[in-house]
Amino acid sequence: MILHAFTDGASRGNPGESGIGLILKDEQGTVLLSESSFIGITTNNVAEYTALLTLLQRMQDIACTRLIVHSDSELMVRQLNGTYRVRDEGLKGYYRKVLQLLGNAPFQFEVKYIPRASNKDADRLANIGIDARKPGRV
């Protein structure tokens, strides 16, 4: 089964209050998971990686053969696809954790860049996370 995920991290200020949003859908577009969380004070890039890490942790309980992640974080997508090196010391740990989780994953992984306008639902969830100021699923 191929699943599509949409992830987003938002930060009001950089750094500032931050939240994450993620949505997981099957091939027919049925939402399997929708989550919104407040993650504290951090940067937008850390929020983007945190959204992806949260998704990958949730995937441990969900069976699929291929996961395609759609993100509007051009930096994160290019880093994960090997186009950009991870130079920021603060992001290196997040990057390594993603690779570690993917190394143990029972599915093929692909990450694609999408324009912000195509990621409105995940963005809305990330902002709900900030507004709620508490972690949790939606």
**What range defines the domain where residue 46 resides?**
2-132
**DSSP bridge pairs for 38:** 19
**Model pLDDT for residues 46-60, shown as the tens digit of each residue:** 999 999 999 999 998
Please check whether residue 138 lies inside any domain of the structure: no
In CATH, what number is assigned to the domain containing residue 119?
3.30.420.10
Contacts with 109 (C-beta within 8 Å, 6 or more apart), sequence order: 66, 67, 69, 102
Please check whether residue 115 lies inside any domain of the structure: yes
pTM above 0.75, yes or no: yes
Instruction: Count the domains in the chain.
Output: 1
Please check whether residue 137 lies inside any domain of the structure: no
**Model pLDDT for residues 28-52, shown as the tens digit of each residue:** 999 999 999 999 999 999 999 999 9
